[in-house]
Structure 1
């Protein structure tokens, strides 16, 4: 990996190879990781070192990830994670132009040229891999300011909402689960807790993908989102290793998916659940079915894991219907976020303009 110099201090960029990292390299990485996460996400638990190493060593079947470490005077002060569609994976041609970016710089090291050095690493990566668009999510004021400074465009605003279980009106949820439309004999529940059988998942990939792409996505320039069967065996194997469950609640009209809600629980963080997609097919909207599947999901989680105290989910600011349902449930905004994009040429121009 080439070395770059920032305006104020020389910065060396190194790629972290999880399969070959030495104990000393891991020790340095974890010290940085714990410190940065404590600064940027102070309310959230930090994954133990050995678990973080297990995660980093796993090879995703669909996405490839590289991590650029910024070192100054031998100390790790920043990181940039680059994730992109693995070449040759099904549908990879749609994502050839894109790279997802995440990372950050330690609080006391900001505004000292380290972010710029990492951007040079990103530019070098985009040139090497012929990537045209970099996408990044930020939630801190410093992150928003940095995106504005480099000329990245804000393409989507969204929030992470959290709900405390001790604030839920569970009697009200009982009523949500039984809207009048469910009196129709056409509709039936399908509930999966723990794992969804692969034979069940396979025919769900197309309808779930369609529902996923109907959510508001602002002005993002991106390939269509996909549910992909190839990602599930590795995810379930990881759950088997560290403990976890996948929940899926559906309403069906025969084989048609009418409404769906899915969530996951991680034994490493037993007091919380991550809720992902909640969606209703267009012909069935306006009948309270999003409320029904969401309520059924929450009741299922509570039944199986009474230790859960909180559920978190993400919503686009433009998704008024789901935001309304979440407010009625008692969700509140935990953090405001935005997704930015910058093109390779614009990034190169910014870096050239800084000398």
Structure 2
């Protein structure tokens, strides 16, 4: 088989299109009920990766068709400089031939050169081969997550209206607002601080350091979203007396997948918790979504199984398990040992 490798942002059109065809097949296996993502959408995403992300691909081709890939994703931030996110995928008909092992051997020199010693990767319940391979590597299941889905037509209307009407004391102290698209420049420093609240979400046993974004990096993320056609809405809550942001929730929508909204971060600063702000934010966003995006049928969000406070809110709203995922962690030494043993 022919091996090729490239970096996102520096690949040829032929490479992108071949990879898109492969990704469409892999994604169909994972989520067969979803319509395929178009080639144009996938290529736009890959061509607009932010500069602080080093994203590389190794691909094995059979008769001109990609049949297996290894993707290496490394953040070039001040934290997690020893961590690499590595994901391998093989078409169902080509499994059991050692292709993932061959790709791993090709990727290893870049991992070593980049001084990444902690390796993480994600598997889903839909593809049992992924979990089996992670176990062969000697990796450990460190974080269990669930993609949960809400069917908007089944939402508890009475509960939603209840959460939309906070008590008088809460509404006198706080106010809701909405940003569509780019964050306002005047609020950017406060939004950078607001992003820090997500470092308090559980990572269980992953050796994962908090992420700290600069204002420039947040703008890069926005530019990435705009470039690939993603639209974002941010509902925030502000304390009236201090004008301080207390929490936020975000959703993402793309015209290529008009029936699904991806629920992004939801977070409230610790000193503002236990007032019901999380419920208010989520209800307000759902209410806004139903009015402004009537084509949406499903809302999906990813939660750690250990994130009890957020799961309690989502389950009350009617979110149900859609796809289980596991984040695995291994070491560079474990991968080297596995490859040595396989020779």
Matches within 5 A, 1:181-260: 182-183=169-170, 185-209=172-196, 211-241=197-227, 243-253=229-239, 254-260=242-248
Once the two structures are TM-superposed, the CA of residue 57 in structure 1 deviates from its matched residue by 2.0
Once the two structures are TM-superposed, the CA of residue 73 in structure 1 deviates from its matched residue by 6.1
For 1:297 and 1:71, how far apart are their aligned partners in 2? 44
Does structure 2 conserve the Cα–Cα contact (< 8 Å) formed by 1:242 and 1:268?
no
* SS of aligned partner of 1:221: coil
For 2:60 and 2:120, how far apart are their aligned partners in 1? 20
- The one of 34, 40, 45 aligned to 2:24: 34
Once the two structures are TM-superposed, the CA of residue 155 in structure 1 deviates from its matched residue by 1.0
Corresponding residue of 2:105: 120
- Please give the per-residue CA displacement for 1:277-319, whole angstroms capped at 9, x wherever unaligned: 1122223322322111100111111121111111110100001
2:60 matches 1:70: yes
- Please give the per-residue CA displacement for 1:54-79, whole angstroms capped at 9, x wherever unaligned: 22222413211111112356542111
For 1:242 and 1:128, how far apart are their aligned partners in 2? 31
Does structure 1 conserve the Cα–Cα contact (< 8 Å) formed by 2:152 and 2:298?
yes
User: Which residues of structure 2 form unaligned runs of 5+?
Assistant: none
Does structure 1 conserve the Cα–Cα contact (< 8 Å) formed by 2:44 and 2:228?
no
Corresponding residue of 1:352: 340
Corresponding residue of 1:137: 122
For 2:209 and 2:327, how far apart are their aligned partners in 1? 15
The alpha-carbon distance between structure 1 residues 239 and 122, as it changes in their structure 2 partners (threshold 3 A), is closer
Once the two structures are TM-superposed, the CA of residue 133 in structure 1 deviates from its matched residue by 1.2
- Please give the per-residue CA displacement for 1:76-95, whole angstroms capped at 9, x wherever unaligned: 21111111123xxxxx3423
For 1:62 and 1:17, how far apart are their aligned partners in 2? 13
User: Which residues of structure 1 form unaligned runs of 5+?
Assistant: 1-10, 87-91
For 1:306 and 1:200, how far apart are their aligned partners in 2? 29
The alpha-carbon distance between structure 1 residues 228 and 173, as it changes in their structure 2 partners (threshold 3 A), is farther
2:34 matches 1:15: no
The alpha-carbon distance between structure 1 residues 220 and 31, as it changes in their structure 2 partners (threshold 3 A), is same
Does structure 2 conserve the Cα–Cα contact (< 8 Å) formed by 1:261 and 1:278?
yes
Does structure 2 conserve the Cα–Cα contact (< 8 Å) formed by 1:18 and 1:53?
no
The alignment yields a C-alpha RMSD, in angstroms, of: 2.2
Once the two structures are TM-superposed, the CA of residue 229 in structure 1 deviates from its matched residue by 2.7
Once the two structures are TM-superposed, the CA of residue 178 in structure 1 deviates from its matched residue by 2.3
Once the two structures are TM-superposed, the CA of residue 37 in structure 1 deviates from its matched residue by 2.1
Corresponding residue of 1:166: 153
Does structure 2 conserve the Cα–Cα contact (< 8 Å) formed by 1:84 and 1:98?
yes
- Please give the per-residue CA displacement for 1:219-245, whole angstroms capped at 9, x wherever unaligned: 111221234433443444455455442
- The one of 63, 72, 83 aligned to 1:82: 72
Normalised TM-score (structure 2): 0.90
